[in-house]
Chain A
């Protein structure tokens, strides 16, 4: 069974900390995505990557960065965590151009910044 694994289900961090959220997929997918989900705002795309060492900004990249050194791993970095980054973070991957394939999502990381 194909999988997208997010390293933590729940995470509590302090304001100003540097936070790493890790995502690993075992499907050899080219494309990987980071979304955040907030009530009333839906899922919003933060960053995505179509290839190793390649990244593109999504709709809300401010305050975040990403790293994709290997095909299977896509990391989301909060350079200096703030309380408004408290959210559910979802990683997803897809094959090929992504146009004719569905996304496979991880189980999510619920991050609380205090």
Chain B
């Protein structure tokens, strides 16, 4: 079974709106990471949040972590068409386990 599972599977919004994606995992983790994948390409590391952190920011990205609920969320504010991609969370216990991602479409 997968450690990191993203929800929703697909999300379509207008440019300028905020996008929120969620991730659930099953066991205790060292940290949780979010990645972005443009169509047919490799994954790009966006942000890492440690198990003892609750919130982290990077530019237009905001990540929260709730270890009691074993969940995380990624918020992209003021979305742009260039944010269109698939987003993956990776729950890390030594090695990373990825889910199937959330496909985000931002319409201009």
Q: How far is the CA of A95 from the CA of B2 in the complex (A)?
A: 23
* A103 contact from B2, B43, B94, Cβ within 8 A: B43
1/0 per residue, CB under 8 A from A, across B12-45: the answer is 0000000000000000001101010000111111
Residues of B63-84 whose CB lies within 8 A of A: none
Q: How many residues of B contact A (CB 8 A)?
A: 25
Q: How many residues of A contact B (CB 8 A)?
A: 28
Give chain B residues whose Cβ lies under 8 Å from the Cβ of A88.
40
Q: How far is the CA of A97 from the CA of B31 in the complex (A)?
A: 12
Let me know if B100 and A98 touch, CB within 8 A.
no
Residue ranges of B at the interface with A (Cβ–Cβ < 8 Å): 2, 4, 30-31, 33, 35, 40-45, 48, 50, 88, 90, 92, 94-101
Residue ranges of A at the interface with B (Cβ–Cβ < 8 Å): 4, 33, 35, 39-43, 45, 48, 58-59, 88, 90, 92, 97-108, 110
13 cross-chain CB contacts under 8 A: A42-B2, A42-B101, A43-B98, A45-B96, A48-B95, A98-B92, A99-B92, A101-B48, A103-B35, A103-B45, A107-B42, A108-B41, A110-B40
